[in-house]
Structure 1
Amino acid sequence: MTAAIDFEAIPGNSHLVNFNEKKKDGDRQGKIVFIPTPSDDPDDPLNWTPLRKWTAVACVLVYTLGACIPTAAIYSVLPNIEANTTITLSELNNGTGYMFLFLGIGCLVFQPLALQYGKRPVYLFSMLATAMICVWPPYTKSNGEWIASKILQGFVGSSMESLPEISMSDLFFEHERSFALSLYGLTLLCASFLAPFVAGFISEGQGWEWVMWWCAIFGAVCFLFLFFFMEETNYDRKLKVDATTGEVITLASRQQQLGSVFTNIDEVMGHNSKADQLGEKNESQSNAMDASSHTDDYTENVNIVNQTSNVEVVNSNYYAPAYHGTKTYWQKLSLFSGRRKKFLLQHYAFAPFLMVRFPVVVWAGFLYGSSLVWFNVLNATAALILGGSPYNFSSSIVGVAYLSPTTFSVILFFMSGMCSDWLKVRIALWRGTGLSKPEDRLWILLLYCILGCFACILWGVGAYYEIHWFGLVFGMGLLGGCGIFAIASSATYVVDTYKELDTEAMVVVILIRNCMSFAVSYGITDWVTDLGYKRCFISVAFLCLAANLTFLPMVFFGPWIRNRQKHMYWSMVDKYRKLGMH
């Protein structure tokens, strides 16, 4: 059956914690609800075994490495390129600006293609095309050729900007999502920082041309890995509801593969006692097959039709699932398993423009974009500051300095990923009703406000006063690592709020982000030259602080905005579901 959407539901609000039991000490015991609700199909990405799921994650991260490394490898060798060509440093930075612009514009083409024909073929094409284009830059002799090569590289590599976030949301539940997206953000940042590190040594030993040729070789290896291990995550989820109990029939209730639809909240929060663990183990063993026989009105059933229109009421006593096992290895390698039966490409292409009407999406793009602005300022000045007087670092040593932001990215990953998921669950528990809001995660940005401002001043003002190189490298690391806060926060905020149209929303986020990056990359050289290090980076520090503090208005006004636009949003969802898009 196709049930009606509840237009009064506020997008993003969910009952993440269900209070249905009491502990021995009298306190209520909360259990995390799996959102979105998994089906009873073993090929549903939410039901994949841990090995299958983490193999898919590994493939997304390998693709991210293969597409990202060529975009960042040249940063530490820009002076070498300037010395060996007729292209000036300003023109080189302008070219990278065009690349970032088309990393955003390309999403308008490849994201609809991924929804129409599947994510796997888009990933494979993007990886192979990136590897091939990396062969071109060493042969460029003019500014026009340089810009053309960067535009094409940005266009074919644009899938790395928005598709991995959607793949992660395909695989993980709401309370796990920030960790997965932070893992993607960590890979993105580490690739961006380690590439110049390695490139510096390659440039000194083999020449800067080999930097791009090695990127081409690495991209080809990544393509082969993805071809044999990446599978499609596009999935048309169909839910079965028991006519007697009103509960969703899941794979857990049929095969004991996932346990209960609920996960014990103490287990997730890390506070189980040994007695509780033993009790839960015994209870799960005795009740796993009876998970679908409870009669409580579980909170995951509230607004279930808003999650998917494919809801069917069945009698569990006579219901026989049509699924007879998971796909074979060769079926997983198919390039057509994610293809839509109806041709809807024009609707997929136009949908992102309608998502611009939602302030939540626009603000997330601004937050993500502002973080990339500071990243570009750092990259554009690293070789200039460390390679100039009084430090006089060689290109290889400038590359070594990029180990600092790599290290800080790993450290801050645990704060942005694990703490964000922890915070979301903890606030839902603290409310006492189990209600969770997308804005709950945004409080993690307080750390970004403090650390980002401090890092900008240490890097730029420190360079002006020619402090010891360790202070600069520390500031460089802290500024680069802080970017993971914005990556995780903006992506999870959008996906948590508009999960049903998250793919279209992320296109808008990335387009805004990359337009901001292009604008700054195009003028960064003049900005630093005209203002000098001290005034430039003091202004950068307080712009960074002001940009990140905008999360406070979103925390307080975001729920009101989402409530005001709920009818507009669910009307879009209803329209696209009737077309067969979602």
Structure 2
Amino acid sequence: MADHEDFNYTWAPGTVAIEEAHPSGHSIILQPKPTIDPNDPLNWSWGRKVLNYALVSYYVLWTFVELDIGFTAWGPMIEELGLSIGNLNTGVALNYAGLGFGCIFFIPFVHKYGRRPLYLISVLVQLLACLWQAKVNNEGNYIGANLLSGIGGAISETVVQVTIADVFFVHQHATMNAFYLLFTAIGAFLGPVASGYIVVDQGWRWIWWWCVIFIGINLIAVVFFYEETKYVPAIYGQNTASHTEAITNELAEVFRRNSVQAGSEDPKHHEPQAIAHMHSATSNEIRIKTYQERLALWTPTPGGIAHHFYQPIIMLFTFPAVTYTALTYGGSLATFAIMTSVQATYMLLPPYNFSAVGIGLMNIPPFIGCLLGFFVGYLNDISILRLSKRNAGIFEPEMRLWLALPAIIILPAGILMFGIGLAKGVAWPLLAVGYGVWGFGFSVAADISLAYCTDCYQDIVSDALVGIVFSRNLFSVIVLFTLTPWINGMGIQNLHILTAVVIFVILCIPLALLKYGKRARIWTKNRYAYYALKQPTSRTF
């Protein structure tokens, strides 16, 4: 066994060798390691991966369109159906409840039967929900349609992260998460812009008929083009202890070779060199699946799924990285729920007197902010390669967290600009700037927290994300059920100040993780191995 004590390296979940030095440059070590099977999604051609993820992105876009356009129709719905602001907030809260509890119910079947059947069920339920939304004629219909809509979109935030882990490598995770958040932003922010014009020109029911059309296209695309990404690798005779020793030896060996290479480099060659990507080798002896096999309705694996219904909640409180992501992602989206509801209600009133079009257009600034934040995701993947190179080729997930630090100031600042400005009745452009600043901070914080969690615990990411998404929706449900009395008791200004303070404290968590994050991962490694062994698609154990 390598004398890894000399290099002070102990394996922890997420710690992997990601770069190796050569006289001609540095090559990327692919993590997780792909098999020799050409059917392994990690071995798919880039075009095949792009098609698969493009379908996923289209699914995400229309999921968030149908989840977030409803508030642009609040004014006409109040007039036509006689609904109150409390009724409307209750419907949205139940929508979030459907998202949270639906996720807990559906995701265990992703493990058992694959990703493809759950995508199909999700799109079909969304289609039915939009049909119902278009036919709403009373409070009960409105609440029921919102609940069904939430159930239909319940898996969107989890199964997409599972797909990213299935298909892409560690050094691509933040970029793919940035794409996910970009398409989320397009749906959540630009969808209401379009729906505002539709409400004015065609009537509020037509926002749902257009969703029926485009989600119907999504259903056809998933049926005929979306390939199953679930893959069960064959790992024989490797228990937890042997795995830990093997990984530790690999880390130590890469550290040793890179240190030797660094010491032998001529100083004049220290400028950045081109990175050569290492490609995986596949076996020609393994038959490539046919088109029909790739589009099988389900891909079952043996074993029970009961543990997947309660494990997510346990992980939420026993894995610090999961807790951090839940607080960051959930807290950030709870602030979005507050700001969306507040602007949809109070910007209809003087001094703004916005129409449905104006309410929709207010979503352009946060979209621009999220678009700028998308590039931070790409920079995050570049930065971890550079930091790993400085760390003798060893990647630690905490390397991602440095770029999360600006969000500590940016996101709360956006909330304060928007909330205090609205309370003071300032000109709407200042509110728009604050909303855009919030969008940038949200995109950066959410992207990096999701990538960090995926990198730390890739083999259990689906269960971890169920707990994260459940807590995110729980936060939003609580906020929306209490928002009206909260504003009545505290006022809009103090509401946003309190919200900014709470999210500021949450966004400071990376400061602690940069110092203690690896210790926390070492502390959880046996528990991680225990849960990973229960996963049929684990690539590690």
For residue 29 of structure 2, the aligned residue among 23, 29, 33 is: 33
Asked if 1:177 corresponds to 2:139, the answer is no
Amino acid at match of 1:105: F
Q: How does 1:487-526 map to 2 (within 5 A)?
A: 487-526=446-485
Asked if 1:420 corresponds to 2:380, the answer is yes
Distance 1:320 1:173 in 2: 20
Is the Cα contact below 8 Å between 2:224 and 2:295 reproduced in 1? yes
Q: CA deviation at 1:137?
A: 2.6
For residue 371 of structure 1, the aligned residue among 321, 324, 332 is: 332
Paired residue secondary structure (2:26): strand
Amino acid at match of 2:315: M
Is the Cα contact below 8 Å between 1:362 and 1:512 reproduced in 2? no
Paired residue secondary structure (1:36): coil
Is the Cα contact below 8 Å between 2:32 and 2:539 reproduced in 1? no
Q: Which residue of 1 aligns with 2:308?
A: 348
Is the Cα contact below 8 Å between 2:103 and 2:466 reproduced in 1? yes
Paired residue secondary structure (2:131): coil
Q: CA deviation at 1:141?
A: 4.0
Is the Cα contact below 8 Å between 2:66 and 2:130 reproduced in 1? yes
Q: Which residue of 2 aligns with 1:537?
A: 496
Paired residue secondary structure (1:345): coil
Q: Which residue of 1 aligns with 2:259?
A: none
Structure 1 gaps of 5+ residues are 1-7, 24-28, 242-246, 249-271, 293-318
Q: Which residue of 2 aligns with 1:408?
A: 369
Q: Which residue of 2 aligns with 1:9?
A: 11
Q: How does 1:67-146 map to 2 (within 5 A)?
A: 67-146=63-142
TM-score (structure 2 length as normaliser): 0.86
Q: Which residue of 1 aligns with 2:419?
A: 460
Q: CA deviation at 1:273?
A: 11
Is the Cα contact below 8 Å between 1:106 and 1:155 reproduced in 2? yes
Is the Cα contact below 8 Å between 1:131 and 1:218 reproduced in 2? no
Amino acid at match of 1:183: F
- Bigger drift between 196-205 and 525-534 goes to 525-534
Paired residue secondary structure (1:18): strand
Asked if 1:359 corresponds to 2:304, the answer is no
Paired residue secondary structure (2:122): helix
Q: How does 1:160-559 map to 2 (within 5 A)?
A: 160-238=156-234, 322-324=285-287, 326-336=288-298, 338-340=299-301, 342-356=302-316, 357-415=318-376, 417-431=377-391, 433-559=392-518
Amino acid at match of 1:323: I
Is the Cα contact below 8 Å between 2:19 and 2:29 reproduced in 1? yes
Amino acid at match of 1:509: I
Amino acid at match of 1:146: Y
Q: CA deviation at 1:46?
A: 0.9
Distance 1:567 1:228 in 2: 41
TM-score (structure 1 length as normaliser): 0.80
Is the Cα contact below 8 Å between 1:104 and 1:161 reproduced in 2? no
Distance 1:186 1:369 in 2: 17
Q: CA deviation at 1:410?
A: 1.0
Write the deviation string for residues 418-462 of structure 1: whole angstroms up to 9, x where unpaired.
Answer: 12112222222223x222211221222222112112211211111
Q: CA deviation at 1:126?
A: 0.7
Write the deviation string for residues 108-135 of structure 1: whole angstroms up to 9, x where unpaired.
Answer: 1211111111111110111011111112
Distance 1:428 1:576 in 2: 29
Is the Cα contact below 8 Å between 1:344 and 1:581 reproduced in 2? no
Q: Percent identity?
A: 27
Q: CA deviation at 1:175?
A: 0.7
Q: CA deviation at 1:54?
A: 0.1
The number of residue pairs the alignment matches comes to 503
Q: Which residue of 2 aligns with 1:316?
A: none
Please provide the CA RMSD for this pair. 3.0
Distance 2:12 2:382 in 1: 23
Q: Which residue of 2 aligns with 1:312?
A: none
Distance 1:161 1:479 in 2: 20
Is the Cα contact below 8 Å between 2:157 and 2:469 reproduced in 1? yes
CA spacing shift, 1:22–1:228, aligned 2, 3 Å:
same
Is the Cα contact below 8 Å between 1:66 and 1:127 reproduced in 2? no
Paired residue secondary structure (1:116): helix
Is the Cα contact below 8 Å between 2:231 and 2:537 reproduced in 1? no
Distance 1:361 1:559 in 2: 14
CA spacing shift, 1:578–1:428, aligned 2, 3 Å:
closer
Q: Which residue of 2 aligns with 1:148?
A: 144
Q: Which residue of 2 aligns with 1:313?
A: none
Is the Cα contact below 8 Å between 1:98 and 1:147 reproduced in 2? yes
Q: CA deviation at 1:527?
A: 2.4
Q: CA deviation at 1:275?
A: 12
Paired residue secondary structure (2:20): strand
Q: CA deviation at 1:53?
A: 0.5
Is the Cα contact below 8 Å between 1:456 and 1:479 reproduced in 2? yes
Is the Cα contact below 8 Å between 1:79 and 1:89 reproduced in 2? no
Q: Which residue of 2 aligns with 1:571?
A: 530
